[in-house]
Copies of this chain bind each other. A is one copy, B any other.
């Protein structure tokens, strides 16, 4: 790695030894899991480059933006509207939470029985290995699940810039009112941070930028309906993961180029996986970089993943924000309406999600659904049971997996997943 990068990380206060170790693990995993794949679209070279520089050039870009007066806002959840941050001249980035780090230290703050994603978020802070977190001028937490809600109480004192957003639990009028008012409060906080007043024009433009990113991801999703499927689930997941980190406009352009390539593949009836291989829909918890364990096991066990019902996937990008409002308030209403549709398992009841999973299984011609629950993630592990029952009623085979970020259960998972895939053939 370049001296410039090292100096940048040092300046950000990272623990260089620990950070080197993390990059080594990340690089090795990427080589073993991503680069080992065959018949990848040429356009994935862009994402290979992005990943190789995910703690390097991308951080430099963010720091350059800061030099020019732009603010960086970090978040852990798809309920934080990128539209509002962009409109106030701030960049939104997803924060590291996809790998175990500094676990001994973490368990001084959080019980062992906390989900890996939450422990990871704290571990990256305590281990001083997340350059995104250290670059952020504001970190946004949100009251989604109990685990995150209470964990921010521990994370807060370790940061000097944590902003916590409240969220509703029910899709009632009261719930929408709460979300609307929380987005208004967030808008004011972002404006205060950036000293930029959001205008109708800037908000409309931001909505269009974010919608364009979503539409590129929709396009990618649509192309995966083809049989044979032209791109692996791992590569499609990566595109969704990178969408949380990358410059939105560049991301959109790069992804659209890949989609052009995929269209040619489809026209040539060219797939990334033989037609006979079962098609799998993954549903459940988000998979943050470098949490590739489960899709890697699935796709090296004779199946291909055709869709992700996940925040890092279709749940996160399903709906566009209406940009036709003629005032800031109208656009804020549209933003609220858009995010209020997100069918996260923190809501009760959450029947929309069951319907969406069924629809996706049908639309993507999935032969089976694997429900991925992070161990100790109560909302998703609890909802996995009604999901399984609903799929059962429709005759759609499903497999319920509960796991964490460790590799100890990889062998056992592979056995179960292979058996499931065998059954689908």
A binding-site residues for B, Cβ under 8 Å = 108-111, 113-114, 143, 145-147, 149-154, 164, 166-167, 169-170, 172, 174-175, 177-178, 181-182, 345-346, 348-350, 373, 375-376, 378-379, 381-386, 402
* Stoichiometry, copies per complex: 2
Q: How far is the CA of A154 from the CA of B384 in the complex (A)?
A: 12
Q: How far is the CA of A350 from the CA of B149 in the complex (A)?
A: 11
Asked whether, in the complex, the Cβ of B147 is within 8 Å of the Cβ of A169, the reply is no
Q: How far is the CA of A373 from the CA of B114 in the complex (A)?
A: 14
Asked whether, in the complex, the Cβ of A385 is within 8 Å of the Cβ of B109, the reply is yes
A151: contacting residue among B143, B375, B382, CB under 8 A = B382
Asked whether, in the complex, the Cβ of B348 is within 8 Å of the Cβ of A385, the reply is no
Task: List 21 contacting pairs A-B, 8 Å CB cutoff, sorted by A.
Answer: A109-B385, A110-B382, A111-B382, A111-B384, A111-B385, A111-B402, A113-B381, A114-B378, A143-B169, A143-B348, A145-B146, A146-B346, A146-B379, A149-B348, A153-B349, A153-B386, A154-B385, A167-B169, A174-B177, A174-B181, A378-B378
Q: How far is the CB of A321 from chain B (nearest CB, A)?
A: 23
What 5 A-B pairs are tightest by C-beta distance, nearest first? A150-B382, A146-B378, A111-B381, A166-B170, A146-B146
Q: How far is the CA of A57 from the CA of B166 in the complex (A)?
A: 46
Q: How far is the CA of A345 from the CA of B150 in the complex (A)?
A: 9
Q: How far is the CB of A156 from chain B (nearest CB, A)?
A: 8
Asked whether, in the complex, the Cβ of A110 is within 8 Å of the Cβ of B178, the reply is no
Asked whether, in the complex, the Cβ of B147 is within 8 Å of the Cβ of A170, the reply is no
Q: How far is the CA of A416 from the CA of B389 in the complex (A)?
A: 42
Q: How far is the CA of A208 from the CA of B366 in the complex (A)?
A: 61
**Which residues from B are CB-within-8-Å of A383?**
150, 153
**Which residues from B are CB-within-8-Å of A113?**
113, 375-376, 378, 381
**Which residues from B are CB-within-8-Å of A177?**
174, 177
Asked whether, in the complex, the Cβ of A150 is within 8 Å of the Cβ of B181, the reply is no
Q: How far is the CB of A185 from chain B (nearest CB, A)?
A: 9
**Which residues from B are CB-within-8-Å of A145?**
146, 378
Q: How far is the CA of A182 from the CA of B264 in the complex (A)?
A: 55
Asked whether, in the complex, the Cβ of B348 is within 8 Å of the Cβ of A153, the reply is yes
Q: How far is the CA of A185 from the CA of B111 in the complex (A)?
A: 37
Q: How far is the CB of A30 from chain B (nearest CB, A)?
A: 31
Q: How far is the CA of A384 from the CA of B181 in the complex (A)?
A: 31
Asked whether, in the complex, the Cβ of A166 is within 8 Å of the Cβ of B169, the reply is yes
Q: How far is the CB of A101 from chain B (nearest CB, A)?
A: 19
**Which residues from B are CB-within-8-Å of A164?**
348
Q: How far is the CA of A345 from the CA of B111 in the complex (A)?
A: 15
Q: How far is the CA of A385 from the CA of B147 in the complex (A)?
A: 13
Q: How far is the CA of A149 from the CA of B146 in the complex (A)?
A: 11
**Which residues from B are CB-within-8-Å of A110?**
382, 385
Look across to chain B and name the residue whose beta carbon is closest to the beta carbon of A156: B349
